[in-house]
Amino acid sequence: MFLNSCSTEVGQASVEAAFLIPIFSLALSLLLQPLCLLYTKTVMWNAAAETARLAETNDSSEDCTEFAKRRLAALPELPLFHEGEWEIEIDGAQEQQVTVTITGYAKPLPFLGLVAAMQNAGDTDRFELKTQVTEQLRPEWLEGDYAEWIEAWDDV
């Protein structure tokens, strides 16, 4: 009676787990890197857009650079998100059109680094993340300047 109630497949779950756990870990690591890079790019884009809006009204590029670095501090100090210093370029401050370019680097996970090396993708030690945002101070359809607007309201 006891022998009939026992299954002959004892230990089958441990064999399946030994096979499936590494596969799930690999799949998770393959999904983790793109998600972290996407988060980094999103924070970079937001920092560049806010810095561009600030640069349109502030003539100090040092203040704008520090502002961008404060916004980029939202990213954790992990090589998976970013590694090293940020390169921040602000062109056209106090002009009609401002362009802010933020460049950073992230270190790939070992498996993705191996894939990048097999594709001969240049620098396999790190990924370059670059974001460029261009903002206009005033839209093209808006005519006149502030002095003309004040005169128009004074006439009313």
Which pTM value belongs to this model? 0.71
Q: pLDDT at position 108, please?
A: 81
Q: What are phi and psi of 101, to 5 degrees?
A: -120, 125
9 falls in which pLDDT band (50, 70, 90)?
low
Task: Check: CB of residue 137 under 8 Å from CB of residue 125.
Answer: no
- Tell me the C-alpha distance between 132 and 88, whole Å: 10
Three-state DSSP at 1 gives coil
Three-state DSSP at 77 gives coil
Q: What are phi and psi of 148, to 5 degrees?
A: -65, -35
Among 10-14, 56-60, 96-100, which is the least confidently predicted range? Answer: 10-14
Tokens representing 156 are: 């009313």
Q: pLDDT at position 86, please?
A: 95
Structure confidence by residue, pLDDT tens digits, 142-156: 777 777 878 878 776
